Amino acid sequence: MKRGVVIAIVAAAALVVAGGATAAWLLTRPPSAEAVADAYLRALSEGDFATIQGLVGGGDSDGRQLESAFSGASGHISDYSVRLSGESDAARTARADVELGGEKAVVTFSLTQQDGRWKVADYLASLEVKTTMGDSARVGGVLVPAGEPVPLLPAVYPVTAAPQGLLVGDASAIVTNQEPVSVSLAPTLSPGAGELAQQRLDAYADDCAKPAPTVPGNCGLRVPWAADLASLDSIAFRIDTYPVVALAQDGHSFDALGGRIVATATGTTRAGAPGSFTYETDEWALRGTVTFQGDEMVLAVR
Q: Is 23 exposed, middle or buried (0-12, 13-18, 19+ CB in 10 A)?
A: exposed
Per-residue pLDDT tens over the stretch 129-185: 999 999 999 999 999 999 999 999 999 999 999 999 999 999 999 999 988 899 999
- pLDDT one-digit tens code per residue, 224-238: 999 999 999 999 999
Does position 3 have pLDDT exceeding 50, yes or no?
no
- Domain regions of the chain by residue span: 31-121, 125-188, 191-301
Q: What percent of the chain has pLDDT over 90?
A: 83
* Residue 77 burial (CB count, 10 A): 24
Closest CA to 54 of 125, 123, 120: 120
**Fold type of domain 31-121:** Nuclear Transport Factor 2; Chain: A, (3.10.450)
Rounded-to-integer distance, Cα 136 and Cα 144, Å: 6
